[in-house]
Amino acid sequence: MPTYDEVISRDASNDPLEIPEEVSSEIIQDLPQASAVMALSRRITMSSRKYRQPVLDVLPDAYWVSGDTGLKQTTAMDWTNVVLTAEPIAALVVVPDEYMADSAVPIWSQVRPRLVSAIGKLVDLATLWGTNKPSTWTSSAIYTGANAAGNFVSGGDYEDLAADVARMGFVLSQDGFPLTGFAAAPGFHWRLVGQRSTDGVPIYTPSLAATTPSTLFGYPMPEVSSGAWSSNTAMLIGGDWSKSIIGVRQDITFQIFDSAVISDDSGNVVFNSMQQDSKIMRVVCRIGWATAVPTTQLSSDGYPWVVLKPGDYLAS
């Protein structure tokens, strides 16, 4: 159900007056997670609501010529258009002036990164799983497309986790697509750290620098820690991420209003910021997404992503 009446307010658990003076003004929070799909995908700037991306659909052929005067045959190439449509994402955050004045923490600086994280979660849910995907985004969600193409490996089907991951790359190579990166379930990095050889020697040696992004076989491997991952469905999604296109029509922008009203979907005013002495932060962006799946030399109906599904030792 859409909501239009949520307000940051004080109660017994979050009254800003109850924060002791000696407590640091910084709130300890999880690091807000942006979109893994946006980090991996090819990003373009859209100059209008729609963007057309030509995709190779028919490959040319070549022919042997018979003898010195043999006839040369003709061949052709053809393209099809993939259309990206930018759709708006938005949210409103209401904070009463008195709450703001009494707070021991900088409210807006805490809210902004969380809103960015919420946008990232929304994008990952739509592009990976199809959850609430706009109807104008006509490409199948990545998991849906990979599953329909039969591009999946069940954990434990092969000798070990490394063999399972190698099989993912092999599946893609059969259709002529390179593997350029992975989107991973939360904690997958630590599964890799725990892998040992038969002699008990670690077989995965990540960077010792905590700030260095995780990689797998040298390819980027961001974990989807925003809450957008379905660990019961997949542990890893690998693919050619250049075929996932994120179009940005309007980047994330924030505005704060002190004279605005909020109405519900029936047009009823449910909040008046001037009359109720509050500020309203509005976050807005406009994003489009599509997959461009070209014909390759090896396949005319291949799919550039493959899924490692949980199974056996990956089931928990």
Task: List residues bridging with 85 in a β-sheet.
Answer: 50
125-160 pLDDT, tens per residue?
A: 999 999 999 999 999 999 999 999 999 998 777 777
- CB neighbourhood size of 262 (10 A): 18
- Residue 11 has what pLDDT? 62
Proportion of the chain above pLDDT 70, given as a percent: 88
- Residue 313 has what pLDDT? 52
- Residue 26 has what pLDDT? 44
Pairing of β 261-263 and β 181-184: unpaired
Query: What is the Cα–Cα distance from 190 to 313, expressed in whole angstroms?
Result: 14
CA angle 38, 125, 309 (to 5 degrees): 100
CATH number attached to the domain at 39-56+79-314: 3.30.2320.10
User: Structure pTM?
Assistant: 0.84
Segments of the chain with pLDDT less than 50:
17-32, 314-316
Q: Would you say 240 and 306 are in contact if contact means Cβ atoms under 8 Å apart?
A: no
**What would the two tokens of residue 275 be?**
């009359």
- Residue 146 has what pLDDT? 95
- Residue 20 has what pLDDT? 46
8-62 pLDDT, tens per residue?
A: 776 655 555 444 444 344 444 444 458 999 999 999 999 999 998 888 777 788 8
Residues near 100 by beta carbon (within 8 Å), at least 6 away in sequence: 107, 279
Look-up of token digits 């028919």: 58
Query: What is the Cα–Cα distance from 109 to 32, expressed in whole angstroms?
Result: 12
3-state secondary structure 55-72: EEEECCCCCCCCCCCCCC
- Residue 296 has what pLDDT? 86
